[in-house]
């Protein structure tokens, strides 16, 4: 028996974040249809999280077709959904304790690719218990996706969730690797298979709308300084969107903060053009005899 107190405030807040996320994910998916606005869907999800008592742990990711991660609407974005494969990745925190979940909404007619990542996630979750090696989880994820005739995205992984930390150890690979990490009771991890009909490696694109604090230091420029104050008070170390900043010229303020190495950006990650990426993700707490999925 472990000495982890699963009734502690930490785990209760992880669960609360997961419950909020599950509700918002369902309501957001209902709004995705051909012609709907990316920006309106993102703002709906983020505002709904706040209405339900949480805060967004990162901007709503809306990744389309070959995009895999880090895409979110720009200020004034007029993009609308087409007959595409759409990945929605949602993060919620309650006092810095996180939940992270993603789902693919397919308007492109590629059901099996969606099923591949979903079944890989199910297969991994069924195996989670104290003592399981993350390499074993990567192997089952990779083999499940291979069984559908697709490739796992090998340079993206699941991850641990810390306090005010969206990505922490351990990494959960999406393929067989030589060596992993042993999960223990009390660990909180996001399992996150990506499947693709492409080569299985994503590259950084040129677009960048999501940022996070790198270091807090004195900034002379007034607008950049105002932006930094908001970042450190509201978002701390968690990712945020350009459109979340309340300063007059947010793009310029962010450019200055990036030049000073105060913030770093998250470029959109993409497969090769013409291919699709599907994603499915849940957050789990490793329990004494298995795991508890907080985001179902």
Q: E strands within the chain? A: 55-64, 67-69, 85-94, 97-106, 151-152, 158-162, 165-172, 188-191, 194-196, 203-204, 210-213, 240-241, 263-266, 269-270, 277-279, 282-286, 291-293
Q: Is 95 annotated as a binding residue?
A: no
Is 100 one of the annotated binding-site residues? yes
Q: Is 216 annotated as a binding residue?
A: no
* Cβ contact 153:200 at 8 Å: yes
Contact residues for 260 (Cβ-Cβ < 8 A; gap 6+) = 217, 219, 224
d(C-alpha 214, C-alpha 218), whole Å:
13
* 93 annotated among ligand-binding-site residues: no
CB-count burial class (<10 Å; 0-12, 13-18, 19+) for 1: exposed
Burial class (CB in 10 A: 0-12, 13-18, 19+), 144: buried
The residue assigned the tokens 């051909």 is: 34
Q: Is 281 annotated for ligand binding? A: yes
Q: Is 167 annotated as a binding residue?
A: yes
Active site residues: 89, 100, 159, 167, 192, 281
CA dist list (Å): 39 to 27, 32, 35, 77, 238: 15, 11, 12, 6, 20
223 phi/psi in degrees, rounded to 5: -65, -40
Distance of CA 195 to the CA centre of its chain: 15
* Binding site, annotated residues: 70, 89, 100, 159, 167, 192, 281
* Binding site, annotated residues for a divalent metal cation: 89, 100, 159, 192, 281
* Binding site, annotated residues for substrate: 70, 167
């Amino acid at each position: 028996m472990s000495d982890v107190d699963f009734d502690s405030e930490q785990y209760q807040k992880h669960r609360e974040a997961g419950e909020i996320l599950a509700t918002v994910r369902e309501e957001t998916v209902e709004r995705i249809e051909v012609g709907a606005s990316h920006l309106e869907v993102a703002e709906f999800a983020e505002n709904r999280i706040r209405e339900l008592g949480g805060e967004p742990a990162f901007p709503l990711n809306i990744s389309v077709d070959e995009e895999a991660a880090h895409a979110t609407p720009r200020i004034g974005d007029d993009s609308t959904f087409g007959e595409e494969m759409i990945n929605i990745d949602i993060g919620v925190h309650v006092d810095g304790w996180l939940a992270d979940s993603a789902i693919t909404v397919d308007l492109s007619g590629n059901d099996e690719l969606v099923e591949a990542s979903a079944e890989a996630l199910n297969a991994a979750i069924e195996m989670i218990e104290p003592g399981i090696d993350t390499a074993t989880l990567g192997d089952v994820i990779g083999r499940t996706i291979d069984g559908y005739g697709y490739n796992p995205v090998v340079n993206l992984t699941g991850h641990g969730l810390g306090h005010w930390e969206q990505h922490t150890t351990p990494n959960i690979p999406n393929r067989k690797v030589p060596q992993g990490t042993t999960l223990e009771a009390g660990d909180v991890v996001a399992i996150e298979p990506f499947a693709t009909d492409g080569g299985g490696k994503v590259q950084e694109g040129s677009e960048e709308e999501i940022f996070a604090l790198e270091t807090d230091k004195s900034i002379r420029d007034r607008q950049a300084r105002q932006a930094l104050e908001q970042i450190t008070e509201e978002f701390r170390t968690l990712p945020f969107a350009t459109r979340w900043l309340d300063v007059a010229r947010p793009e310029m303020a962010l450019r200055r903060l990036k030049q000073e190495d105060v913030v770093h950006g998250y470029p959109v990650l993409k497969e090769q053009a013409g291919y699709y990426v599907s994603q499915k993700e849940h957050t789990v707490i490793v329990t004494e005899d298995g795991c508890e999925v907080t985001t179902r």
